[in-house]
Amino acid sequence: MVSAALHAECGEALRLRDGHGRALTDLRLSVTDRCNYRCVYCRTGNEGAQFTELPIATYARILRIFVSLGIEKIRLTGGEPLLREGLLDLIRETAEMRPAFSDAPLDIAMTTNGHLLAPMARKLKAAGLTRITVSMDAVDPETFTRITRVPGSFERVRDGIRAAQDAGLGPVKVNCVLLRGFNDSQIEAFAEFSRNENVIVRFIECMPLEEDRTWSPATVVPMKEILARLNAVRPVVALPANHLSETARRFTFDDGVGEIGIIAPVSEAFCGHCSRVRVTSDGKLRTCLFSQSDHDLAGHMLRGAKDVEMESRIRDIVQHKEARHHIGEPGFLKPSRSMVHIGG
Ligand code: SAM
């Protein structure tokens, strides 16, 4: 009989690792590239785009293969995942998968714009979703509409957040992408929102991943400035990281009420501990948000590749995962696909 220690040792050796020795435990899967918002820093706002979705069974097979390789956290994203028919079935099926090298249950999270969340929250929880992140770029309704280009969106999203908290999906994380001159006036109001609604607000520096050309270094609101502004609301206290590959630096206030995360991929890149890979809605493996090319998994599956062949292909591809991104450096090349196609 194999001892527990030997099993653990073999497991570590078999885990999916990139060419830099980093264990890959975190997969983001885009289940659609359709979206009901046209956020100004993400989409062109033009109608008539072509969309690509795969059958739910194909996404489920991709997830199963990755879980067998050592993925422990799955984040469903898009496009807007709540638009995807069959999403609850996919979550149910995923919740039955067991991580290959850990006794802990699989962590199944989702990132959504929250527009359709209120009536769905309990069903998502019952299907097996463990955590939810809602994107919300302003707490002032007018500013929010200017960003999403959908009237009445703020109230819908706020109600979605409250429904998710009530359904037991809390504490909900609320992601806010900050753009200088557009919503940076909202920093103090978000501090109050975190304290009043008991949610974790996370400010994210805008990255060059838009369909239009809106990004420049000047649009980024750096972490130092966000912290200085929060400190003026109340003294800010740093919280310890939950784990090494955590992307957010965590803070609370001196009375312990509210939690703010700052994700600074541009001004303080955290690539060194990256444990993530992504699969796009058309079934392509992307090893970094800023990769210049993707690797077709769905095509191979369609041509009859068996699971063992897919596993070995994935192991080969991740050997070449980028060490880090080069945003802001001379010669940086923006990826040809935007965030909405890659899956945030
Ligand atoms: N529709 C879902 C949503 O709104 O959360 C999921 C997909 S969306 C592309 C995922 C996340 O990426 C959102 O929080 C969005 O704000 C963020 N995002 C989009 N473009 C970005 C950019 N250029 N820089 C940083 N974050 C971005």
Q: How many CB atoms lie within 10 A of CB 154?
A: 22
Given the candidates 3.20.20.70, 3.40.30.10, 3.10.450.50, 3.90.1150.10, the CATH classification of the domain at 18-342 is: 3.20.20.70
Pick the residue whose CA is nearest to atom 4 on ligand 1.
113
Task: Report the pLDDT value the prediction gives residue 266, as an integer from 0 to 100.
Answer: 75
Closest CA to 107 of 133, 144, 85: 133
pTM of this structure: 0.92
Spell out which residues line ligand 1, taking CB within 6 angstroms. 35, 41-42, 77-78, 80, 111-113, 135, 175, 177, 204, 206-207, 209-210, 339-340, 344
Banded pLDDT at 42 (limits 50, 70, 90): confident
For 163-195, the pLDDT digits (tens) are 999 999 989 999 999 988 889 999 999 999 999
Average pLDDT over residues 40-51: 73
Closest CA to 116 of 91, 88, 97: 88
How many angstroms separate the CA atoms of 17 and 138, rounded? 38
Question: In testing the pocket of ligand 1, which one of 31, 133, 135, 214 has its CB within 8 Å of the most ligand atoms?
Answer: 135
Which of 12-26, 43-57, 149-163, 278-292 shows the lowest mean pLDDT across its residues?
43-57
Tokens coding 163: 């429904």
For 97-143, the pLDDT digits (tens) are 999 999 999 999 999 999 999 999 999 999 999 999 999 999 999 99
Would you kindly state where each structural domain of the chain is located, as residue ranges?
18-342
Question: In testing the pocket of ligand 1, which one of 111, 174, 182, 190 has its CB within 8 Å of the most ligand atoms?
Answer: 111
Q: Which atom of ligand 1 is nearest to the CA of 340?
A: 9
Per-residue pLDDT at 5 exceeds 60: no
Question: In testing the pocket of ligand 1, which one of 31, 157, 175 has its CB within 8 Å of the most ligand atoms?
Answer: 175
Ligand 1: distance of its center to the CA of 113 in Å?
9
Task: Report the pLDDT value the prediction gives residue 268, as an integer from 0 to 100.
Answer: 73
Ligand 1: distance of its center to the CA of 344 in Å?
5
